[in-house]
Amino acid sequence: MAIQIDGKAISAAVRAEVAAETAALKQEGVTPGLAVIIVGDDPASRVYVNNKKKACAEVGFHSEEFALPADTTEETLLSLIAELNARKDIHGILCQLPLPKGLSDKKVIEAISPQKDVDAFHAENVGHIMIGDYQFLPCTPAGVMELLHRTGVEVEGKRCVVIGRSNIVGKPMAMLLLHENGTVTVCHSRTRDLAAICREADVLVAAVGKPKFVTADMVKPGAAVIDVGMNRDENGKLCGEVDFDAVEPIAGAITPVPGGVGPMTIAMLMKNTLTAAKMQTGK
């Protein structure tokens, strides 16, 4: 029977720490500010943006939302980002992705000042992560590392397998595990003998985008299994990328969906915004 890694409790602890630091920063005349841009009316993006606003209020940040219509031009969007880059009261800028057709995610990411790029997607920040000299980490991989640390899961010397190679989760996740001296394998759609490779993992991270993809025959007894996915099953019920009921009796530790990695992503965004505010104000 696996230990269930409680992302709700751990994210609440992280947010409480951020709130305490924010209160101290406010005593010095600095209120961390986060600008969130949403283009169009994608329902999932709207939910994420609302959750981010709630989290900002909870930790004591100043937050501003910029909701733009789906037919916004690239010029208008880039002009808004330039304005926000110049504002002293905004320390973090986040543009909700994916953008509507006709707008370039890449151009928008590169337009955000690296010092205000609290998603850590800008090429400059990605380079810092690669060499291990970073200020910000992408929120989901950072959240996964926080879960491992606070649950006492050691990475050093362990076999770590990441399923998925996206720029947002898979690649940075592999780097963070490598920085902590894990022996890391990244698997993807072209990987041969995927199940056999996964069975070698002491730490298995599923970030492939397919519901219930990780089955019991892919998991080493006692492994820590981290499920980054958020999907719906055939009955419309929320589920992850791990077949939880089948894997949970085999794993040593496992994250549930919901209530595992999900809450950590926003908690780490709050942490990144606090870091940005301290960097930009020299506090």
Domain ranges of the chain: 30-113, 139-261
CATH entry 3.40.50.12280 includes domain 30-113: no
Locate all alpha helices (DSSP H) within the chain, ordered by sequence.
7-27, 43-59, 74-86, 105-111, 123-131, 139-151, 170-179, 194-198, 244-247, 262-281
Q: Is the pLDDT of residue 134 over 90?
A: yes
Q: Which amino acid is at 170?
A: G
Q: In DSSP terms, which residues pair with 253 in a beta bridge? A: 3, 224
Instruction: Please tell me the distance from the alpha carbon of residue 175 to that of residue 168, in angstroms, as a whole number.
Output: 12
pLDDT in the model for residue 46: 87
CATH superfamily of 139-261: NAD(P)-binding Rossmann-like Domain (3.40.50.720)
Q: Is the pLDDT of residue 1 over 80?
A: no
Which is catalytic among the residues 6, 117, 119, 243? 119
pLDDT in the model for residue 48: 87
DSSP conformational letter for 61: -
Q: What is the pLDDT of residues 206-264, one digit of tens each?
A: 999 999 999 999 999 999 999 999 888 878 788 999 999 999 999 999 999 999 999 99
Locate all alpha helices (DSSP H) within 101-230, ordered by sequence.
105-111, 123-131, 139-151, 170-179, 194-198
Q: Which residues contact 62 (CB under 8 A, 6 or more apart)?
A: 31, 32, 33, 34, 56, 89
pLDDT in the model for residue 41: 86
pLDDT in the model for residue 233: 80
52 is catalytic: yes
Q: Is the pLDDT of residue 151 over 80?
A: yes
pLDDT in the model for residue 235: 81
Which is catalytic among the residues 52, 158, 171, 212? 52
pLDDT in the model for residue 43: 84
pLDDT band at 139 (very low <50, low <70, confident <90, very high): very high
Mean pLDDT of 68-82: 97
pLDDT in the model for residue 11: 98
Q: Is the pLDDT of residue 155 over 90?
A: yes
Cβ count within 10 A of residue 47? 10
Residue 183 sits at the vertex; the CA angle it makes with 154 and 212, to the nearest 5 degrees, is: 80
Mean pLDDT of 70-99: 96
Q: How far is CA 227 from CA 19, 199, 209, 262, in A?
A: 27, 16, 10, 9
Q: Is 149 left (phi over 0), alpha (psi -120 to 50) or beta?
A: alpha
Q: CATH topology of 30-113 equal to that of 139-261?
A: yes
pLDDT band at 44 (very low <50, low <70, confident <90, very high): confident
Residue 221 sits at the vertex; the CA angle it makes with 220 and 223, to the nearest 5 degrees, is: 70
Which of helix, strand or coil describes residue 205?
Answer: strand
pLDDT in the model for residue 120: 97
Q: Which residues contact 130 (CB under 8 A, 6 or more apart)?
A: 175
Instruction: Please tell me the distance from the alpha carbon of residue 237 to that of residue 241, in angstroms, as a whole number.
Output: 13
Cβ count within 10 A of residue 174? 22
Which is catalytic among the residues 6, 96, 115, 212? 96
pLDDT band at 266 (very low <50, low <70, confident <90, very high): very high
CB 136 within 8 A of CB 118: yes
Mean pLDDT of 193-216: 97
Q: In 119-134, which positions are buried (b, 16+ CB within 10 angstroms) versus exposed (e)? A: bbbbeebbebbeeeeb
Phi, psi of 268 (to 5 degrees): -75, -30
Q: Is the pLDDT of residue 35 over 80?
A: yes
Q: What is the pTM of this model?
A: 0.95
